[in-house]
Amino acid sequence: MQFRRVAVTGVGVVAHCGIGKDAFWKGLNSPVEDIERRVYDFDPAPYFENKKEARRADRFAQFAFAAAAEALEQAGEIDAAPTRRGVFLGTGIGGLITVEEQIITRYEKGDRRVSPFLVPMMMANAAAGGLSMRYGWQGPAENTVTACAAGTHSIGNGARWIAADRCDAVLAGGSEAAFTATALAGFRNMTALSPDNRSMPFDAKRNGFVMAEGAAVLVLEEWDRAVARGATILAEVMGAASTADAHHITAPSPGGAGAVNCMELSLQDAGLNAEDIVHINAHGTSTPLNDAAEAEAINKVFGSKPIVTSTKGVTGHALGAAGAIEAAAIVLSMQHEQIPPTAGHESLDPDMPEIDIVTGAPRDWTPGPSMSNSFGFGGHNGTLIIGPAS
């Protein structure tokens, strides 16, 4: 089967370090405070018809609307038929803020005070469905819930719709807003969170991830159609893969076996060899087991050749949105011809294989095929390969 090329023509980002792709890029290259990675000063109103509509969307859906609006504005006028336009949005948890608020409301005030919008606000597909209605995109509108791999899987799945001639354009990405007291307590009690809010990917002193919220959406289009309409092509989704560790609900498989398999399959999907990959935006969560397994997996597949960074040192870990935010970071790295440093990293764990980590300051580079890794609870692995526009 002849697969079609997939162009990236728009990028939108909502993150702790910046709302909008320009502020986000600046934030990736700025000093970091050891604080919660919440998205402060976010106003959802401009992205909805009115304030009432905005209030009827959970925060994770509000983020998705904002990121999609920015991405579509950059992409320009898309000429595909409505039934050939799809939406694929991932989330790890969905409308958890709404769930927790409404449980408290029921407990304190009774059944009749529970919002009739509870279910449509809490459901994980709310962002995907909402965007399809907002823009009249009548093709498939689906949702991936694969923990921290959800954003990566959604972009990979959306790209396949285009490659396989199901869609001509797709809004693809991920969104998450899970800062609730219960969620934080759960992560804290399983000792997954950094006790001092320090994200230190691959560092010898790393002590857990720093939870974040946010969203990123890419506009994907069939390459020739994008060229024909005069769109500015930012990058190309060259390949993707998804595997399962089938090992443990939270811990990675020994030696990063699932990650190795996923990266190798993504290379096959892209028609590339290991030596073709120039840069890896690592999952790099700053947890002891995950970073060690990923470093070992990268070394097994590539040796120490690719340039590695983990933008989670700045952004924190946005769970189901993380992979989409990191895919956006790769596209922006190609536009700016710089790779952001791994904030918080001071010295490589001596028990890890050697990998070429960007530290201290951005590194200039000639953009080439780049890989983005996401590994989630449940053993879900996702890898994207993104190439420069050429």
- Residue 218's DSSP bridge partners are 11, 172
E-strand stretches of 245-351: 279-281, 307-309, 338-339
64 Cβ partners below 8 Å, 6+ apart?
89, 127, 130, 131, 173, 175, 215, 217
Decide the pairing of beta strands 169-176 and 338-339: unpaired
Quickly list DSSP for 50-98. Answer: SHHHHHTS-HHHHHHHHHHHHHHHHH----S-GGGEEEEEE-SS-SHHH
Look up 336 and say whether it is catalytic: no
Is residue 317 annotated as a catalytic residue, yes or no? yes
3-state secondary structure of 188: helix
Backbone angles phi, psi at 159, to 5 degrees: -65, -35
CA-to-CA distance for 362 and 292, rounded, in angstroms? 24
Q: Where are the beta strands (DSSP E) in the chain?
A: 6-15, 18-19, 85-90, 141-144, 169-176, 214-222, 235-244, 279-281, 307-309, 338-339, 356-357, 363-364, 370-376, 380-388
Question: One of 153, 279, 283, 345 is an active-site residue; which one?
Answer: 283
Residue type, 384: L
Residue among 148, 262, 279, 345 flagged as catalytic: 148
Residue with tokens 């290991």: 274
| Residue 359 Cα distances to 4, 15, 134, 163, 198, angstroms | 37, 21, 41, 36, 16
> Which one of 16, 317, 345, 380 is the catalytic residue?
317
Residue 148 catalytic?
yes
Residues catalogued as catalytic:
148, 283, 317
